[in-house]
Amino acid sequence: MDDEIASQIEIIEQTLIRDSVLGFDPTILSILDNVESGQDEIENLKSKLGADLFIYLFNIGNSAYHGSLKMGPVKHFFDVVNRIGMQHTKALIIQFASHRLARGDHEAEIIFAKNFAASVVGRIMARGLGFRDDGARRVELACFLSGIGTLMMTVYRNHYHTGDFVLSDDFIEQNHLYLTERIIRRFQLPEYLHEMIMTNCFILERMGIAPPTVVKLAIAAVEWSFRTLDNKLVFRSPETSSDDRFTPSLAAMIEEQFAAAGLKKYLIILPEPTQISQQMYQNI
């Protein structure tokens, strides 16, 4: 990358990482980075989060997606962080800040919705491929953050750009990953994200596919769904039977996640067609 482009990307970053734009105090992240942070110190972060972010994190912590049915509801912020994990809590804070950036901007909100949908699909794919929960969470986080550079550049172009350099679709497509890389480093996010996001090819392991490949497949699947299905992530899921009516289905947990993120309008879950419908379709 030449110095001129690097300078332009730095301008975008510096404009959008101000407290007034992000909507939270970045010192929160340094406390979450410190493994020696005590319960009282983490609990006292509530005053720096802001009401909207505080409620958002509690909703995530209490969702079935993160095991609330097995472990019971959380009552304290320290419990939220323990359940979700410090690194994942940091990622969720950045996720919330991204949503704040996208508010009121239809183009940016669709990008945010795609990032979020990719994180959900990535986790599902990783678990389906036999990844352990920590590996699936890494894929989930990488899928979401892989598009944060595109989101930030789009928001800057639509709301902050002074016209001193050209910020075209081609510029964003070619350079968004460099801004993503800068954000990962600025907020001291996990090192594994660099390989999982910046790798430019599929990676195979000895007897399977590596996490960066799952990330790329999940992003591609969501991109296809949004492009062909009216900016929606569309699933087909079997209906809950009487035998498992007390256990939430995967579809129900996904729906809960989208609702908690304020993105329910970007998700459609279709029921499986009945056997009769399938037969009728086959006879046409």
CB hemisphere CA count around 57 (13 angstroms): 30
For 182-231, the pLDDT digits (tens) are 998 888 888 889 999 998 889 988 888 999 999 999 999 999 999 999 99
- What pLDDT score was predicted for residue 100? 85
Residue 106 has pLDDT above 90, yes or no: yes
Amino acid identity of 108? Answer: A
**Domain containing residue 27:** 3-283
On whether the CB atoms of residues 167 and 153 are closer than 8 A, the answer is: yes
What is residue 269's DSSP assignment?
Answer: E
CA distance 106 to 125: 28
CA distance 248 to 250: 7
Which CATH number do you get for residue 107?
1.10.3210
Quote the distance between the C-alpha of residue 11 and its chain's center: 24
CA distance 127 to 173: 30
Q: What is the mean pLDDT of the chain?
A: 84
Closest alpha carbon to 250 in 112, 108, 145, 120? 120
For 121-151, the pLDDT digits (tens) are 999 999 999 999 889 989 999 999 999 999 9
Q: Residues with Cβ < 8 Å from 224, sequence gap 6 or more?
A: none
pLDDT band at 274 (very low <50, low <70, confident <90, very high): low
Q: Residues with Cβ < 8 Å from 98, sequence gap 6 or more?
A: 112, 115, 148, 151, 152
Residue 234 has pLDDT above 50, yes or no: yes
Residue 242 has pLDDT above 70, yes or no: no
In degrees to the nearest 10, what's the CA dihedral of 149, 153, 158, 162? 160
More confident residue, 281 or 46: 46
Closest alpha carbon to 200 in 183, 178, 221? 178
CA distance 157 to 182: 18
- Please count the structural domains in the chain: 1
Give bridge partners of residue 208 from the DSSP assignment: 205
- What pLDDT score was predicted for residue 256? 85
- Cα separation values, 245 from 71, 124, 241, Å: 19, 21, 6
Residue 281 has pLDDT above 60, yes or no: no
On whether the CB atoms of residues 125 and 139 are closer than 8 A, the answer is: yes
Q: Mean pLDDT, to the nearest integer, of 44-66? A: 76
Reduce the DSSP state of residue 234 to 3 states and report it: strand
One DSSP character per residue, 78-108 reads HHHHHHH-HHHHHHHHHHHHHHHHHTT-HHH
For 246-270, the pLDDT digits (tens) are 667 888 889 988 987 889 999 999 8
Amino acid identity of 143? Answer: C
CA distance 95 to 184: 13
- What pLDDT score was predicted for residue 130? 92
Residue 70 has pLDDT above 80, yes or no: no
Quote the distance between the C-alpha of residue 179 and its chain's center: 16
